[in-house]
Every structure is written in structure tokens, then in C-alpha cells.
Amino acid sequence: MTPSPQLNLAIRAAREAGTIALQQFDRHAHLKIEEKGRSDLVSEADQMVEKEILFHLRKGYPQWDVVAEESRPRRRQRSEWCWVVDPIDGTTNFIHGIPHFAISIALMREQEVMAGVVYHPVSGELFMAERGAGAFLNDHRIRISKTERLQQALICTGFPVRHAPYLPPYLTLFNQLLPLCHDMRRSGSAALDLAYTAAGRFDGFWEVGLAPWDMAAGVLLLREAGGIVSDLNGRNSFIHSGHIVAANPVIHEQLVAHTQAWGSNQSSS
């Protein structure tokens, strides 16, 4: 794939910001940390990394909107083009010294994700995709797993610790699904979960209560790798609801057969 100028800019921004993230990760025990909400932490590292990313993106395309996790206002509604940025996806891992976090940068045109980068600076793995051009890990094309039986599927998820009302219905679903799968993983970075699912490392992913910057780049990776993404009811409203199921078409159908009950007996859809 020959990346477009926009994707090249996102890659450059992610790599430069990744260097700062690694420097800050080395001193994670000394970072200043604030609590934005319940179990919702932000460190000075998140803010420094975001500043670096926005510097590059705004220099390249000063007229385009930016929605970034640590910046306000969240949407300026001026341009049809919008960067969607998560400076450190997996902040809790980062703060605890667990090397599983990523920089996520997506470019949206209206409601469509056109380009996306998920960068894991600790390993140097850079996942990227452009609409219609496939998904790549560094120089290699990636594809979704071919597993067709839920019983053989390694499924990844995340716990809705910041959304107390979602916990009981989430745990009901977890209880149902765990014995039907090979096993479940909970990594703490939705962006990497989607990237790993796109690369066939996980056979599927589901989570509730995510924000657009957790998902946008990963969703494009997933689709361009041949996967299907929907909300828990199998519909297309996941960017708004934050509830997401992603897998190859066969496993996706089997997962949604269980998750589609979501929202039928509580107001969480």
C-alpha cells in the first residue's frame, strides 16, 4: 500500500508521540495523575502525548476538526474532515507500568472512517488502514482469523468499570459467553484489542461503554481486514452507543446471537 499524505501524517504523528510516550512510561511511577471520573484516570503523559499529536495534525491540516480524549471542545463542527485521537489508549495499564497501551489516530470524513493508525510504541508494531486499501501491520497485510466455531475462539473484552449500570447486564452476558468460547482476555486497551482482532490474534472482541476515540481507528483496521463490526444488537450504531461486537462474519453472527438481548431489559442500548 502507498499511504495517502493524510495517513503518512498520522503515522508520523504517532511515531513522534510514541517516543514521548516511551520516555514517560520509563518514569510512570512519578507521573502526576488526576481522576476525571470513576476509575477514569489522566496522567501528565496523556496530555503531553496528545499535545505532540495535535501539533503535527494541526500543522498539516489547520482547517480540519480534531476530537481528542484530553482536549475540549470535543467537536467544532467546522470541517467535514475530523481527526479522532486517543493519545494513550490503556491509560490504566500505562500508569501501572504494564506495557500494553497504544496511540490511536483516525481520520473521519463525516461519519466514515477514512484512515486509521494504532501504534504500540513498546513493540514498534504499527497497525494502519485506509478505506478500500486493506489493513497492515508494519509492512504486512493483516486479515481477520478464519476460526468458525465459538468453542475454538479466543475472545477479547473489557469490563465497564466506569459505567455502574452496565455491570449487571454485562456480567450476565459474560457468564453466558465464557463457557461457549475457548477463553476470554481482558487487555485494557480497546484500540489494541481491535487491532489484534484485525490481525487474527483474537477471534473476536466485544465491549460496552466505549468512546469514539477508543474505537475509530480500530474499527477501520477490523473492516479492512475482512471483519464485521456492529453494536450488540447487530446494528450500526456502535459509534454512538459505545457498545461493540467485532469478529469475522461467522463468529460475529454467533456472538450477536447472544449479545442481541442487550438493551431488552434495561435502558442501556
- Interacting residues toward Ca ion by CB under 5 A: 86, 89, 214
Partner whose footprint covers residue 90, from ligand 2AM, Ca ion, none (CB < 5 to 8 Å by kind) = ligand 2AM
Of 19, 9, 67, 73, residue with least CA distance to 45: 19
Return the number of the residue (25 or 181) whose C-beta is nearest Ca ion. Answer: 25
Return the number of the residue (89 or 224) whose C-beta is nearest Ca ion. Answer: 89
Residue 80 one-letter amino acid = E
Return the number of the residue (121 or 188) whose C-beta is nearest ligand 2AM. Answer: 188
Return the number of the residue (207 or 224) whose C-beta is nearest ligand 2AM. Answer: 207
Which residues between 53 and 112 bind ligand 2AM (CB under 6 A)?
Answer: 86, 89-92
Q: How near is the Cβ of 50 to Ca ion at its closest, in Å? A: 11
Return the residue of 169, 188, 204, 218 that touches ligand 2AM, per CB under 6 A: 188
Query: What spatial distance separates the first Cα and last Cα of the chain, rounded to whole Å?
Result: 38
Return the residue of 13, 190, 219, 239 that touches ligand 2AM, per CB under 6 A: 190
Q: How far apart are CA 174 and CA 159, in angstroms?
A: 10
Torsion of CA 188, 189, 193, 196, to 10 degrees: -110
Of 224, 241, 234, 10, residue with least CA distance to 118: 10
- Residue 81: phi and psi, rounded to 5, are -100, 140
Return the number of the residue (191 or 247) whose C-beta is nearest ligand 2AM. Answer: 191
- Residue 17: phi and psi, rounded to 5, are -65, -30
Tell me the per-residue interface mask from 21 to 50 with ligand 2AM, x by CB under 6 A, - otherwise: -------------------x----------
**Alpha-helical segments (H) within the chain:** 5-26, 44-60, 91-95, 167-177, 190-198, 212-224, 238-241, 249-259
Return the residue of 6, 189, 233, 241 that touches ligand 2AM, per CB under 6 A: 189
Three-state secondary structure call for residue 127: strand
Question: Which grid coordinates are listed for 191?
Answer: 484500540
Three-state secondary structure call for residue 247: strand
Q: How near is the Cβ of 146 to ligand 2AM at its closest, in Å? A: 26
Return the residue of 11, 31, 122, 211 that touches ligand 2AM, per CB under 6 A: 211
Q: Are strands 154-157 and 102-109 parallel, antiparallel or unpaired?
A: unpaired
Query: What residue number has its CB nearest to ligand 2AM?
Result: 158
Residue 216 contacts ligand 2AM per CB under 6 A: no
Q: Segment contacting ligand 2AM (CB under 6 A): 5-13, 114-122, 141-149, 182-190? A: 182-190
Q: How far apart are CA 48 and CA 153, in angstroms?
A: 38
Binding site for ligand 2AM (CB under 6 A): 40, 86, 89-92, 158, 162, 188-190, 207, 209-211, 214
